[in-house]
Structures are given as structure tokens and as C-alpha cells.
Amino acid sequence: MSYFFTSESVSEGHPDKVADQISDALIDHFLAFDKNSKVACETLVTTGQVVLAGEVKSQAYLDVQHIARNVINKIGYTKGEYQFDGNSCGVISAIHEQSDDINRGVDREDRENQGAGDQGMMFGYATNETENYMPLALEISHRLLRVLADLRREETEIPYLRPDAKSQVTVQYSDDNKPERIEAIVVSTQHDEFADSDEEMLAKIEQDIKTILIPRVLASFPEDIQALFGDDIKYHINPTGKFVIGGPHGDTGLTGRKIIVDTYGGKGAHGGGAFSGKDPSKVDRSAAYATRHIAKNMVAAGIAEEVLVQVSYAIGVARPTGVYLNTYGTAKVDLSDGEIARKIEGIFDLRPFAIEERLKLRNPIYQETAAYGHMGRTPEVKKVVFPSPYTDDVEVEVETFTWEKLDYVDKIKAEFGL
């Protein structure tokens, strides 16, 4: 019998995502001016207020208030009626120096044996049900909100949109775990007060979502995904009614509260650690990227249709305490999952420093990850300028989303004789 699976996403203007983007903008600036920075920073956003807190070891000195305001303005919180805007909100910093007790477990004279920044377990996942090896329900959820943000910035076809939004997609699967159809789509978007009555306003929003947003999203997918969008989809557009009060004024936001949106939408597994606000010595972040890199390359190499990889660490210890792999019975090679895992350990060095080097994680690449998911994105080489009121500006050429590259497919095929 067929079954349903649901994933959600939240926009860049969602309060928790505002907090994530500010925290990761701080990470980027610290790394741009000092690649050896160790940072763990949290952000809280609420009505007219931003609070920054955390621990830092760095030679860089930043204007953290200016950085936070720039992020908020870029997202689109630029109007007083939002009760939260980048030019007028208060910004309080409680950032202080990192504990020596933590730092001594991470730094080593031999950098290759740098210890893990904390204990914990991290998961990476990949499936062949989409072109970017991501779960379908999450991929559609992210796409809905990215296109909605494009429409908001264009200010032409849907001019009343505000930055805060959420989406949710339910996919029907067959018994052999293949997507059959889209069952339901939920879109809740913040908006201006633009009509004489709530009923008129909500009717206009529903019409625009169905006739403007959905066709754009549909056109962005290949034909096999488009075929899943039937005429019987159940739409829930702003189902609680009007959504004028939103963003940090409507709901306080905190760094690290959207870890399932950031990863696989509930597919696979999650170790519980957030990403944003953490430099790559924190394996919560770097090892999660490394396991995604492994899982994606394994599926692309034809080892299995679906792969979950877990790795675990002890704080201050370089080598993982364990590596686990699950192909959910979809393996295309005549080996057990345990045997496959042992071979993978021989291909990928999972010590923290090796992960940093392989995926180029000591670069300022993180603000872009903090909305619309850390996984399933497109790698890109580009130059980024980081201004400073205290020293010369820094221009850095970076490669983003390196963990999404299919650069180990040939090595994996060779190891498994494919």
C-alpha cells in the first residue's frame, strides 16, 4: 500500500533563519580576516532587537553590529512597519573569548591530528529520487520559498509579499519507495495589509500562489517531477488566515532551531547538532558536510539507490569513534553494509583537519548555507569582498558547497570494481 512523507522549509525571512544568517555572516567575517578563527556564536532576534552571544578565538576585530544590520537589510527587513528593520533595531553583543579548556582539545602542533571540537554523531544522506540526490518533498519545499523570495524582490507580480514564509509538501510513495504524486502543498506567506477585507485579501493571495508561484516552481523541475503535480493536489494557502505580523516581531528567532530544514527534511537521520554559527573545527558542521559528500558520491557511483552515513567523535580526538552505513536494502554491490562502510573509510579521511582541507572549509562560505538548506545546493567559485572599518578590505575567492561535488565517483567505482 502506498504511503505519504512530508517535509517543510522556511524562508530566509523566518526568525530562526534570520538568526542563522547573522551567525554565519559573523563566521564568514572572522574567517575572512583570520582563517584560523575558532567561533561558536548564537543569535537571538525579536521585536526591534538582536542579541549576539558566543565564544571566539581570533586575531580579527569586527564591527558585529554593522554585519548584523547588513544581513537583516539584505533579507528584506527594511521597513518600520515590520517592527524589525536593519537600520533601527538594537544590536547587543555578548561575544567573549573561547575557553582554553575547549581550545586545548582542538589545537595540535601537528595540525593533521587536530582533535574534534566536540563529541557527537553526524549523519549524511543521499537518494536518487532527484537530480541533486535530495529527498523530493524537501526539494520542492525549498524551491517554493526560493521562487517566492524572487517574486518578493521583483515587486511586480506579487507586490504585497513580506519576508517571512513557510512551506510544506506531502509526497505519496509506492510500496517500492518511488514518488507517485504530490498529495498536498502548504504555503504560509507574510504579506501587507492590502485589501478592504480579510476575505478579499486571502482570496487574492491564494489565487496568486496557485497561478503565479506554482507554475514558476513547476517549470523549474524536469518532466518526471512535473508529472507528479496533478490536478488533485490539496492546497493550504495561509490556512490560519491573514499573516501580516511576522518575522522577529511575530516570533522570536534563535540560531540552530531549523536543523531538519537545514538537512534532509526528516529523511535519513540527524545527530542533533546545528550548523550555523560554528567554525569547521566543530564536527557538528564539518562532519555533517563530509558524510553528505560521501553519501552523494556513493549514490552517484551506483553503489546504492539510497545511502545513510553516520560518523561519531570524541572531543579532542582526531579519528572517529565509529563509522556506520545503511543502504536500506538498495545496494547494487555484493557486500554487506558493514563491508561497504569499511571500504569507504579507506577512501575518505574523516579526521577533522582532513575534512577541512578536502572540502576547503576554512573559507568564508557559510552565510549562503544558512537559508534554503545546507545540502543539495550547487557549488560555485566566486570572489567575495569583506569590508572592515578597522583594516583594509579583504577580497577572497571561494568555492561554495564543496560537499556537493561529485569528485569521488571515479575513486568509489574503482574501489568497488564498477
Q: How many domains does the chain have?
A: 2
Alpha-carbon span 267 to 259, nearest angstrom? 12
22 sits in which H/E element: helix 15-33
| 405 and 296 co-located in one domain | yes
Q: Which residues are annotated as a binding site for Mg(2+)?
A: 16
Q: Which residues are annotated as a binding site for L-methionine?
A: 55, 98, 251, 282
- Residue at 297 is within a domain: yes
Q: Which residues are annotated as a binding site?
A: 14, 16, 42, 55, 98, 164-166, 242-243, 251, 257-258, 274, 278, 282
- Residue at 38 is within a domain: no
Residue 111 has pLDDT above 80, yes or no: no
- Residue at 378 is within a domain: yes
- Per-residue confidence (pLDDT) for residue 183, from 0 to 100: 98
| 218 and 325 co-located in one domain | no
What interhelical angle do 64-75 and 15-33 show, nearest 10? 130
- Residue at 389 is within a domain: yes
Q: Which residues are annotated as a binding site for K(+)?
A: 42
Average pLDDT, the chain: 95
- Residue at 82 is within a domain: no
| 239 and 313 co-located in one domain | no
| 188 and 307 co-located in one domain | no
Residue 102 has pLDDT above 70, yes or no: no
Residue 105 has pLDDT above 60, yes or no: no
- Per residue in 341-352, pLDDT (tens digit) is 999 999 999 999
Specify whether the CB–CB gap between 42 and 63 falls below 8 A: no
| 186 and 312 co-located in one domain | no
- Residue at 219 is within a domain: yes
- Per residue in 373-400, pLDDT (tens digit) is 999 999 999 999 999 888 889 999 999 9
Domain boundary among 199, 218, 245: 245
Residue 101 has pLDDT above 60, yes or no: no
Nearest to 325 by CA among 291, 275, 301, 359: 291
- Per-residue confidence (pLDDT) for residue 99, from 0 to 100: 62
| 212 and 155 co-located in one domain | yes
Grid cell locating 140: 520542492
Read off the pLDDT of each residue in 320-338 and give the average, rounded to a whole number.
Answer: 96
Q: Which residues are annotated as a binding site for ATP?
A: 14, 164-166, 242-243, 251, 257-258, 274, 278
The edge-to-edge listing of strands for the beta sheet with 322-326 is 120-127, 306-313, 322-326
Grid cell locating 10: 522556511
- Per-residue confidence (pLDDT) for residue 110, from 0 to 100: 62
Read off the pLDDT of each residue in 297-307 and give the average, rounded to a whole number.
Answer: 98
- Residue at 254 is within a domain: no
Domain of 149, in residue numbers: 3-9+136-245
Q: In sequence order, what DSSP letters do the residues of 46-93 get, joined into one string?
A: ETTEEEEEEEEE-S----HHHHHHHHHHHHT---GGGT--TTTSEEEE
| 240 and 311 co-located in one domain | no
Helices and strands, number each (H, E), in the chain: 13, 13
- Per-residue confidence (pLDDT) for residue 116, from 0 to 100: 86
CATH number at residue 358: 3.30.300.10
As beta bridge partners, residue 188 has 166
| 291 and 237 co-located in one domain | no
Residue 334 has pLDDT above 70, yes or no: yes
| 236 and 292 co-located in one domain | no
- Per-residue confidence (pLDDT) for residue 118, from 0 to 100: 84
38 sits in which H/E element: strand 38-46
Nearest to 281 by CA among 125, 126, 108: 108
- Residue at 192 is within a domain: yes
Residue 103 has pLDDT above 60, yes or no: no
